């Protein structure tokens, strides 16, 4: 019996997983990582406490599974035709997500959880790898068009757009509005044009 749910993943098992992940997300968004315990999750999900402990074991383990679930729901990138437009669209998408009360708190909680366990950290990294790879092509295309220096690290440019937004969310604080998003996108474009991301 390795990995409960791997042999009979259909029907009830899938319903239980969905209910548990949903409850976990709710609690994380409302109360934060520190107040998450599996007993509470089981109660909210209307699922047996034993089931939750058996399948996920620890809080960080549950968050890791939540992250792989989140990674599966990736949105397609924008295609505005220009580098500025695409990156600004990305910045605003990230900004709206982080500024949304539920989503923002969820991300903060998930990142906090990733702080505590390598397994969860890896799940988080995979999540961002997915997102970055989804958006990197718009930078690649700009390089092909000659808008950016050859050898520019496309993925690094995409990360540079998100970084200031996450920095505000997690560390330094400050407003997370559309102006912040646009500034992040503009700064990334300007730095990329100047060759700051050439490998």
Q: Give the nearest distance from C-beta 114 to DNA in angstroms.
A: 17
Q: Is 176 in the site for a copy of itself (CB under 8 A)?
A: no
How far apart (Å, rounded) are the C-alpha atoms in residues 178 and 94? Answer: 10
What would you report as the CA-atom Rg of the chain, rounded to the nearest whole angstrom? 19
**Which of 72, 66, 22 minimizes the C-alpha distance to 47?**
22
Binding positions for a copy of itself, 47-106, rule CB under 8 A: 59-60
> Of DNA, a copy of itself, none, which one does residue 39 interact with (CB within 5 to 8 Å by kind)?
DNA
Q: Specify the residue, 17 or 159, whose C-beta has the smaller distance to DNA.
A: 17
Using CB atoms within 10 A of its CB, is residue 34 exposed (0-12), middle (13-18) or buried (19+)? exposed
Pick the binder of DNA from 31, 39, 118, 175 (CB under 7 A): 39
Angstrom CA distances, 49 to 18, 41, 53, 113, 152, stand at 15, 8, 6, 21, 51
Pick the binder of a copy of itself from 27, 52, 67, 111 (CB under 8 A): 111
Angstrom CA distances, 143 to 84, 91, 149, 172, stand at 13, 19, 6, 33
Q: Is 54 in the site for DNA (CB under 7 A)?
A: yes
Which residues contribute to the site for a copy of itself (CB under 8 A)?
Answer: 31-35, 59-60, 108-109, 111-117, 121, 124-125, 128-129, 132, 156, 159-160, 162-164, 166-167, 170-174, 183, 186-188, 190-191, 193-197
Which residues contribute to the site for DNA (CB under 7 A)?
Answer: 1, 4-13, 16-17, 37-40, 47-51, 53-55, 57, 59
């Amino acid at each position: 019996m390795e990995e409960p749910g791997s042999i009979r993943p259909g029907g009830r098992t899938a319903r239980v997983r969905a209910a548990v992940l949903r409850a976990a997300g709710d609690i994380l968004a409302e109360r934060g990582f520190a107040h998450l315990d599996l007993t509470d999750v089981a109660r909210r999900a209307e699922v047996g406490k034993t089931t939750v402990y058996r399948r996920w074991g620890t809080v960080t383990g549950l968050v890791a599974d939540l992250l792989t679930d989140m990674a599966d729901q990736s949105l397609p990138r924008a295609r505005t035709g220009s580098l500025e437009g695409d990156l600004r669209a990305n910045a605003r998408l990230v900004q709206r997500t982080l500024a949304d009360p539920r989503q923002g708190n969820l991300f903060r909680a998930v990142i906090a959880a990733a702080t505590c366990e390598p397994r969860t950290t890896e799940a988080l990294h995979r999540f961002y790898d997915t997102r970055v790879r989804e958006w990197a092509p718009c930078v690649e295309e700009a390089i092909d068009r000659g808008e950016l220096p050859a050898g520019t690290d496309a993925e690094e440019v995409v990360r540079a757009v998100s970084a200031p937004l996450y920095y505000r969310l997690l560390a330094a604080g400050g407003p997370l509005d559309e102006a912040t998003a646009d500034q992040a996108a503009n700064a990334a474009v300007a730095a990329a044009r100047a060759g700051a991301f050439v490998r």
